[in-house]
Amino acid sequence: MTKAGLIRLALIAVLLGALEVLVRIGRIDALTMQAPHKMLLDLYAMLASGKLNKAIAKTMGNAGFAFVIAVSLGVISGLMIHRMRRVRETLDPLFATYYAIPVFAFYPLLILLLGLGDAPQIFIGVMLGFVAVVVNTLNGLDRVPRVLLKTARVNGMNGLETALKITLPSAAPYILTGAKFAVAYSLIGVIGAEFIMSTGGMGYEISFAYNNFDNATMYPLIIMILVASISINMVISRWEKSLLKRRGLQ
């Protein structure tokens, strides 16, 4: 591990230790915050009892679904928009301001349109992640050296083959950056929507536990979400790094 990495790890350990101490000596009251060791014990108990398995499966499933749609739709859209100069010129400023839109404000409308099931939650997750994937895909495609496209044409490759064998591999590191955003955004979208209006899922359970002062459920769920998001992010980062390293870019 690098020196910066060690310092980072130490920082987290110190903060957790401080929290543990502050809760134990009562400076932070147990109604607000649990001691970290207690959170872990609660998490274990929660998983062992299996009572929230359904909520966890629903949230992770929906977020995973939103992620897959955001990435595949985003990459395909990126490829298409890249080929159409006019469309690109029209959309670029919209992409730039997209994240100024509070997507959750549309949630009630989405429920009207898509019903009370999982669809509106998945839709919000896709809406959040999709544009990040498109923007990063376009960024990557802009950087494909022209000589590689010439090589594709000389080899008689059609549009699809060129995309699969030349442009997408060449843009892969940038697409992975987009995918990292999509992981975070699909979780934010799905869980946020569950918070606001839904009858199940981790977001709903957290909100329910919060209203009932049930810290033994709330904190373990929050930890699970953190761990899931960070570990998926780390896996993609690793992959991204190895691609960049292979290209002599890192």
Partner 1 sequence: MTQPHIRLSDVEMTFSRPDGVGEDIHALGPIQLDLRHGEFFAVVGPSGCGKSTLLELMIGLTNPTKGTITFEGQPINGSCPDGIGVVFQEDASFAWLTVRDNIAFGLRRMALDRREQDERVEQALAMMGLVEFADVYPSQLSGGMRQRVCIARTLVTQPRLILLDEPFGALDQQTRLLMGDEILSLWRKTGATIFLITHALDEAAMLADRIGVMSSRPGQLIDIVETNWPKDRDSRIVENDAFGAVTARLWRSLRVESMKAIGKKDAQA
Name the residues that contact partner 1, by CB under 8 A.
145-148, 150-151, 153-157, 166, 169-170, 172, 243, 246-249
User: Cβ of residue 237: shortest distance to partner 1, in angstroms?
Assistant: 18
Q: Which amino acid, 170?
A: S
User: Cβ of residue 162: shortest distance to partner 1, in angstroms?
Assistant: 12
Task: Quote the distance between the C-alpha of residue 138 and its chain's center.
Answer: 19
Task: Quote the distance between the C-alpha of residue 201 and its chain's center.
Answer: 17
In degrees, rounded to 5, the angle at the alpha carbon of residue 139 between the alpha carbons of residues 89 and 244 is 175
User: Cβ of residue 167: shortest distance to partner 1, in angstroms?
Assistant: 11
Question: 35 or 152: whose CB is closer to partner 1?
Answer: 152
Question: 103 or 141: whose CB is closer to partner 1?
Answer: 141
Indicate the length of the chain as a whole number: 250
CA 100 to CA 94: how far, in whole Å?
Answer: 10
35, containing H or E segment:
none
Question: 61 or 169: whose CB is closer to partner 1?
Answer: 169
222, containing H or E segment:
helix 215-246
User: Cβ of residue 154: shortest distance to partner 1, in angstroms?
Assistant: 5
Question: 128 or 176: whose CB is closer to partner 1?
Answer: 176
